[in-house]
Structures are given as C-alpha cells and as structure tokens.
Amino acid sequence: MLNIIKKETEMKVLIVEDEKKVASFIKRGLADDNYDVTVSHDGEDGLKQALTGDFNLIVLDVSLPKKDGIVVVNELRAAGSRVPVLMLTARDAIEDVVAGLDAGSDDYLKKPFVFAELQARVRALIRRGGFDRGAEIRFADLRLDPVSHHVWRGQTAITLTAKEYALLAYMVRNAGTVLSRANIADNCWEYPFETFTNIIDVYINYLRKKVDGRFPIKLIHTVRGQGYILKEG
C-alpha cells in the first residue's frame, strides 16, 4: 500500500538522450531522488513519448538521431504541450541556446555539467510548471490564471512557456517596481545564475513580443542600467 501511494505522487521525467551512458547516469540520479524516469534515445521516439505520456518535465538533448532537439520541442509546442523542457547542449554558441529557447524550451544546461546543477534546475522547472493556487492575477488589461497558467491581454489569449509565465507572474506581482537582473534570477530561476549572461534579456524580449507586440500600450519597459519594470505607457 505504501509503495502504491509513493508511486502515485512521484514526478514523471522523460529523458531524451542518445548517449546511453549519459542517459543512464541522469536516470540513476533522478531515480535516486524519487522521480519516475522514462528514457528515449532518439528524437522521433522521444516526441512520441512526450505527446502520449503524462510527464512533469522533459530533459531533451539538442543533438539527436531522427529528429534533433530543436525540431522535437518545436513540434511539441505546436501540438499544444506546455510541459517544461530542459535542453541539454554541448554547443557553446549563444545562437544555439537562443534557438532552443525560441523553439519553446524553458531552460538549458551545457555539457559537461555537474549533476547537482541539473537536480536544481529539474526541481525549479517542475515547481514552476506545477499548478499554483490562488486568485486571478491582474495588471492593466493583463490577466493571469495561476491554476491553468493561461494569460490574456484584454480578450486575446497569450501562450507562454512555463518559464515565461513564471517571469511574467513575478513582474505582475511587482508591478511598478524596477526589477534588476539579479532580482529576476533569484526569484524566477531559483538556482545560482550568472546574471551577466543575456538569457534574462532574451526572456524579456520573448515576453515583449507576446505581451506587448500587438498592442498600442506597452507594459514591459527597460530602465537603463537598472533592469525592467511593468507599468502602463
């Protein structure tokens, strides 16, 4: 009976990684943390598993046979899945990282990595991807549903990734306050984050395109040398 209860409350993680030693290493580590882990070794099968399984998180390598990780996450989002995706990449170029974020991944981790960092990122993404409880959050004509993570600007629905939603919700809750990159990193990433990188700026740009792009009144503003602020006009 105790084993059944534990199994029902485990978080389910899908690992899509063609390097079998790496996949096995990640699986063992996450299984030790009581995650229910499924492994796939190519992008085609990984996408099928992701679309048919009820996963709380996907750990997805960029370089995969049959379908690469960028294509997988693109097709996953096109199918309407909002499951958080942590992308693994051996590539150092920021363009490759941005390509993964543009495709719809929520975070990335460069190989080789320290397992403790992967653990922290997995915890943060699952926590952010889970359903919150509380009343609808509003600012100006912007509405956020903490239960479904649906977002609207007026009557227009806006689709966000788990990380984009977490960032926007943080800004709405702190509307009118200038938020530095360090503030954002501490409250939206929840693990040590190098704030001198431009990843926070990348996410802000994503939000601007989705939240402000089609609307005459802009809500997300840059305060030069300080950070960002959510305000009308």
Bin 142: left if φ > 0, else alpha if -120 < ψ < 50, else beta. Answer: beta
Long-range contacts of 155-158 (CB under 8 A, 24+ apart): 156/214, 158/210, 158/211
Q: Distance (Å, rounded) from C-alpha 126 to C-alpha 162?
A: 9
CATH topology (fold) of 137-230 = Arc Repressor Mutant, subunit A (1.10.10)
Which ranges in the chain are annotated with CATH 1.10.10.10? 137-230
Is pTM, for the whole model, over 0.85?
no
* 18-32, 33-47, 189-203: the lowest-pLDDT one: 189-203
Res 220: pLDDT: 96
Query: Of the spans 31-45, 77-91, 135-149, 186-200, which averages the highest pLDDT?
Result: 31-45
The pLDDT-based confidence of 3 (bands split at 50, 70, 90) is very low
Could you list the beta-strand ranges (E) of the chain.
12-16, 36-40, 57-61, 85-89, 107-110, 137-139, 142-144, 151-153, 156-158, 220-223, 227-230
**Higher per-residue pLDDT: 94 or 63:** 63
Q: What is the CATH number of domain 2-129?
A: 3.40.50.2300
- Average pLDDT rounded to a whole number, residues 58-63: 93
- Average pLDDT rounded to a whole number, residues 74-90: 86
Which ranges in the chain are annotated with CATH 3.40.50.2300? 2-129
Long-range contacts of 142-146 (CB under 8 A, 24+ apart): 142/172, 142/211, 142/219, 144/168, 144/169, 144/172
